[in-house]
Amino acid sequence: MSGRILSKNVPYLCGQVSAMLGNTSIFVKIICLVVFFCYFLSFSETAVITLSVTPGYFNPPHFWIWTALTHCFLEIHFWEVLVDIFTMLLVGKLIEPLWGALEMVTFFFIINSGVAVLCAIFYYILYMFTFNTQLLFDVHIHGLSGYLAGVSMAVKQIMPDLILFRTPLGKITNRNIPLLVFGLTFIMWAIGMVEGSYCTMFGTGLVISWTYLRFYQVHNNGTRGDMADSFAFATLFPNVVQPPLSILSNLIFSLAVKCRICRKPVRRYDVGAPTGITISIPGAESQDSERRRQIALRALSERLSKNDASGSQWPSMEEPEKSSSPTSISVESGSIPATPSPSPHGAPQPEQPAQKPAQESLI
């Protein structure tokens, strides 16, 4: 029975996937195809070692630097391949129209290469404390787990207040997705669905993507980063722990500014503002306005869809033609009687019959 249902739904699913792929860019199509075909290389142990980031081989003296670019295309579970393809399609629909193809490609390679470097350093530090050689040669870093974290962070930045579903404990919005999925990776690791490196990659992907989007991403108006308060690092966590995390993150940011890793935002003061002194931070206004624009467009599309569903029609803007009297002009508030023309030789003007006021016309 289940096989019959599956055989009926497979052509439909294939048609939907092909339709979604047809509306995406060439970069999304290439990534999906490469991830799909590289899955079959996971059955070869030599291919896994060659394409994955192995901390013992990535760091000196071996220095397999090419694995920083190849590890993201290799998955060893087919359900991970499906998740990766779905995520790439989501990126092509939501993020690419806003960022552009070049920025999306830049974001892809920055996140994946950064995840490879940080994960190799992380496991090397663990080896320094434990002297466990399995951390260097038995751990293989591969897949798009870090990029999935980056996509969740980008969605949080673009549509932070979109409500996904409601629970008895409160609303779940895009602000909560990065931390919730990060916790979900530990649950999947505990039940054996993924390896421990999957959690490490997702965590480092969150850090790298937030740092890039917060300080380094170049926008169309020439500004860098997103310094809005709604995208602060503490907003990734529940409201209860945000105050202490804000203090800690501010200290780390001050240290990074002193080390010239990050730039201190320049605040501009408008003394001549009609409502008093206003302060503007580069990068914050543009991103906030973009979020407001997206919310307005979404509300407008929902309103139009409701109107189409209910079959309502727009009122006609054309008024029926009315015969105009030569002695009166119809206006919104009534009628204006015509002024009688003077008669020659002072002859008495015949008395005009009283004109009935024209009915008030509404626009």
Helices and strands, number each (H, E), in the chain = 14, 6
Look at residue 14 in the predicted model and tell me its pLDDT. 66
Look at residue 250 in the predicted model and tell me its pLDDT. 86
Statement: the pTM of the whole predicted model exceeds 0.75: no
Measured in Å, how far apart are the chain's first and last C-alpha atoms?
Answer: 64
Q: What is the pLDDT of residues 258-304, one digit of tens each?
A: 887 777 766 554 444 445 444 444 544 555 555 556 666 766 777 77
List of residues 6+ apart from 39 with CB closer than 8 A: 74, 75, 76, 78, 81
List of residues 6+ apart from 17 with CB closer than 8 A: 85
CATH topology of domain 21-231: Rhomboid-like fold (1.20.1540)
Look at residue 346 in the predicted model and tell me its pLDDT. 47
| Residue-wise burial string across 81-119, b where 16 or more C-beta atoms lie within 10 A, e elsewhere | bebbbebbbebbebbbeebeeebbeebbebbbbbbbbbb
* Residue stretches of the chain with pLDDT short of 50: 1-2, 6, 269-274, 276-281, 283-284, 312, 322-338, 343-347, 355-363
Domain spans, the chain: 21-231
Per DSSP, what are the bridge partners of residue 224?
Answer: 218
> Given the structure tokens 């009534």, which residue do they identify?
334
> Mean pLDDT of all residues in the chain?
78
List of residues 6+ apart from 325 with CB closer than 8 A: 355, 358
Look at residue 299 in the predicted model and tell me its pLDDT. 67
